[in-house]
């Protein structure tokens, strides 16, 4: 093979692409990961919160050097006053330092991956991947280009959340490391306050952009009623989160689609890192075994059912906005504590 021919070309060096790359790196097959960005892990693309049970189950990294906070108590609230709060005697979630986390995936999890940055993919025709700096051939192409990529399905307003987060200078909360507020001001999503460091917290909002209002304005308006989340803003992050039904087909011939491109996002929490990691890994494994169809089988039998459970619950939760969430919270209060802890801690 020449320097521009690979067994697999991966488009996107986010969680999904890097997770696929880690599998290929270990296999000895030739591969390359292309990304338009200048640096792995920049810009920050995620709050980085994940449930520890799932992280362990699918083999995501837990190295202390990439974890900025651990979660062992959490509170789910409505802005109308209902709430469920839980404390655990163990860590149930972690918050990654996102830049360190992506760099870890690219450099340490399986060794240094073969990435080519500052390389925008312009088009893909057959096995030819046209980039700004020339054409590359891939026997298989793993698409991991994130939400709203021109290589994926165009999402409608009711299929994608806008998300905005500020890192704020503020002391850690004394009560919980994670608070989510559901509100009609954030249809389909929620406001959040996550622990980050001893003097910073991550405060944000995500919602279906049906009102046309800017997320920054929506978050700042929320601050007025909840002064506990106020603090000097140090940095901001904004992006989109696909939030609809997971795709049915993830493989088409030599093409394998992963991560946000196939809506591998847990609709209840808008968490997509685990789905991105799992789909990237499954796509990589299928390529290594020489049968792309194995990825579709894994998707149909394990990944999609997991996502569908969250998708259906999300629809129930938000059917009548905050009213239905409040009702479900009231019902959940009658669950035995052990069940409640398992359900909420495993999200
Ligand atoms: C504000 C916010 C907070 C979030 N918080 C959480 C959280 O706490 N927990 C959680 O689990 N999930 C969270 N998510 C969701 C999660 O971040 C995403 O689901 C996940 O990062 C998707 O990974 P991915 O690899 O599919 O896509 P991405 O991480 O978007 O990676 C796609 C990559 O493809 C590259 N690319 C795109 N087009 C091209 C092209 N033409 N040529 C070359 N490169 C290209 C991009 O530069 C990018 O690096 C959050 C999302 C947002 C927006």
Q: At what angle do helices 15-27 and 98-107 cross, to 10 degrees?
A: 20
* Residue bearing the CA closest to ligand 1, atom 15: 272
What structural domains does the chain harbor? 5-69+97-154+246-317 (3.50.50.60), 157-243+323-345 (3.30.9.10)
Distance CA 278, CA 300 (A): 13
Distance CA 307, CA 296 (A): 14
C-beta separation of 168 from 231 below 8 A: yes
The sign of the dihedral angle between the CA atoms of 141, 308, 277, 265 is positive
46 SS3 class = coil
- Give 72's pLDDT tier (boundaries 50, 70, 90): very high
The backbone region for 253, taken as left when phi is positive above 0, alpha when psi lies in -120 to 50, beta otherwise, is left
CA of 101 to the centre of ligand 1 (A): 13
> Is the distance from the beta carbon of residue 259 to the nearest atom of ligand 1 less than 6 Å?
yes
| Mean pLDDT for the chain overall | 95
> Is the distance from the beta carbon of residue 21 to the nearest atom of ligand 1 less than 6 Å?
no
> Is the distance from the beta carbon of residue 133 to the nearest atom of ligand 1 less than 6 Å?
no
C-beta separation of 218 from 185 below 8 A: yes
Q: What is the pLDDT of residues 271-323, one digit of tens each?
A: 999 999 999 999 999 999 999 999 999 999 999 999 999 999 999 999 999 99
Q: What is the pLDDT of residues 81-128, one digit of tens each?
A: 999 999 999 999 999 999 999 999 999 999 999 999 999 999 999 999
> Is the distance from the beta carbon of residue 271 to the nearest atom of ligand 1 less than 6 Å?
yes
Tell whether the model's pLDDT for residue 347 goes beyond 90. no
What is the 3-state composition of the chain as percent helix, strand, coil, each rounded to the nearest 5?
Answer: 35, 30, 35
51 SS3 class = strand
> Is the distance from the beta carbon of residue 260 to the nearest atom of ligand 1 less than 6 Å?
yes
Q: What is the pLDDT of residues 195-234, one digit of tens each?
A: 999 999 999 999 999 888 999 999 999 999 998 999 999 9
pTM of the full structure: 0.96
CA of 319 to the centre of ligand 1 (A): 27
C-beta separation of 36 from 18 below 8 A: no
CA of 34 to the centre of ligand 1 (A): 14
CA of 239 to the centre of ligand 1 (A): 8
Residue 43's CB is within 10 A of a number of other CB atoms, namely 13
Residue corresponding to tokens 């997320």? 215
* Residue bearing the CA closest to ligand 1, atom 31: 14
Q: Which range is least confidently modeled, 16-20, 75-79, 321-325, 338-342?
A: 338-342
Distance CA 119, CA 109 (A): 23
C-beta separation of 172 from 166 below 8 A: no
> Is the distance from the beta carbon of residue 149 to the nearest atom of ligand 1 less than 6 Å?
yes
Beta bridge pairs of residue 209: none
DSSP structure string for 292-315: THHHHHHIIIIIHHHHHHHHHHHH
């Amino acid at each position: 093979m020449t320097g521009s021919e690979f067994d697999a070309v991966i488009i996107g060096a986010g969680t999904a692409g890097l997770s696929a790359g880690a599998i290929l790196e270990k296999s000895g097959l030739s591969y390359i990961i292309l990304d338009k960005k200048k640096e792995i892990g920049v810009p920050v693309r995620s709050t980085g919160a994940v449930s520890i049970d799932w992280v362990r189950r699918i083999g995501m990294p837990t190295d202390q050097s990439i974890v900025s906070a651990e979660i062992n108590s959490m509170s789910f609230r409505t802005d109308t006053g209902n709430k469920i709060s839980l404390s655990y005697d163990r860590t149930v979630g972690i918050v990654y330092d996102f830049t360190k986390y992506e760099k870890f995936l690219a450099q340490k999890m399986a060794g240094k991956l073969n990435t080519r940055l500052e390389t925008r993919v312009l088009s893909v025709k057959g096995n030819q991947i046209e980039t700004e700096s020339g054409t590359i051939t891939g026997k298989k192409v793993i698409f991991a280009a994130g939400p709203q990529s021109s290589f994926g399905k165009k999402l409608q307003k009711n299929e994608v959340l806008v998300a905005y987060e500020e890192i704020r200078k503020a002391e850690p909360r004394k009560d919980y490391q994670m608070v989510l507020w559901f509100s009609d001001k954030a249809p389909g999503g929620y406001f959040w306050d996550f622990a980050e460091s001893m003097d910073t917290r991550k405060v944000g909002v995500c919602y279906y952009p049906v009102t046309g209002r800017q997320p920054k304005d929506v978050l700042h308006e929320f601050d007025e009623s909840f002064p506990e989340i106020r603090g000097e803003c140090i940095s901001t992050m904004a992006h989109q989160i696909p939030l609809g039904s997971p795709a049915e087909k993830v493989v088409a011939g030599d093409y394998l689609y992963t991560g946000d491109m196939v809506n591998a996002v847990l609709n209840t929490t808008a968490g997509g890192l685990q789905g991105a990691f799992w789909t990237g890994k499954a796509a990589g494994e299928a390529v290594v075994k020489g049968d792309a169809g194995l990825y579709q089988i894994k998707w149909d039998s394990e990944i999609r059912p997991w996502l569908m459970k969250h998708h259906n619950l999300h629809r129930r939760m938000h059917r009548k906005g905050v009213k239905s969430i409040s009702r479900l919270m009231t019902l959940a209060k009658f669950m035995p504590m052990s069940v409640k802890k398992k359900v909420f801690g495993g999200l």
